Amino acid sequence: MTQGHTITIEQGEQHVRVKHGDQVLADTHRPLLLHETGAPVRYYIPAEDVRLDLLTPSGTHTVCPFKGTASYWSLPDTPDLAWAYPAPKDGVAPIKDHLCFYEAEVS
């Protein structure tokens, strides 16, 4: 990591649910919590706990110098609401096969 920039990942047990309108897009009790300098905690949800049948891969890709290249998924009325790192950098390897959403309910 760069001087002053840290990323830590921990296994969570809290209930994380992602809804869009009345539709549940993800529901898990086994999120990964990613803590990154300057960013809110992000909940990475195992792909098996995400309704991938409702999401469409988008053409959007972004590059993070710490995590790698992200791919995004959309709903018909909400572009790029989820992302994942298909080939994350070694320091964040546990987030492979996990998706993250901008908005998540945690209980």
Residue 1 has pLDDT above 80, yes or no: no
Please compute the mean of the pLDDT values over residues 34-48 and round it to a whole number.
96
Please compute the mean of the pLDDT values over residues 14-25 and round it to a whole number.
95
- The answer to whether residue 97 sits within a structural domain is yes
DSSP 15-63: -EEEEETTEEEEEES-PEEEEETTS--EEEEEGGGB-GGG-EEEEEEEE
Of the candidates 14, 99, 2, 91, the one whose C-alpha atom is nearest the C-alpha of residue 48 is 99
- The answer to whether residue 2 sits within a structural domain is no
- The answer to whether residue 84 sits within a structural domain is yes
Give the number of residues written for the chain.
107
Q: Of 2-16, 30-44, 76-90, which range is least confident?
A: 2-16
Q: What count of other Cβ atoms lies within 10 Å of the Cβ of residue 51?
A: 13
State pLDDT tens for residues 43-100: 999 999 999 999 999 999 999 999 999 999 999 999 999 999 999 999 999 999 999 9
**pLDDT-based confidence at residue 103 (cuts at 50, 70, 90):** confident
Of the candidates 93, 81, 39, the one whose C-alpha atom is nearest the C-alpha of residue 57 is 81
Of the candidates 20, 22, 46, the one whose C-alpha atom is nearest the C-alpha of residue 32 is 46
Please compute the mean of the pLDDT values over residues 28-41 and round it to a whole number.
96
Please compute the mean of the pLDDT values over residues 6-33 and round it to a whole number.
96
Q: What is the CATH number of the domain that holds 46?
A: 2.170.150.40
- The answer to whether residue 87 sits within a structural domain is yes
- The answer to whether residue 55 sits within a structural domain is yes
Residue 107 has pLDDT above 90, yes or no: no
Query: Measured between alpha carbons, how far is 64 from 60 in angstroms, rounded to an integer?
Result: 13
Host domain of residue 87:
7-106
pTM: 0.94
- The answer to whether residue 86 sits within a structural domain is yes
Query: Measured between alpha carbons, how far is 71 from 83 in angstroms, rounded to an integer?
Result: 5
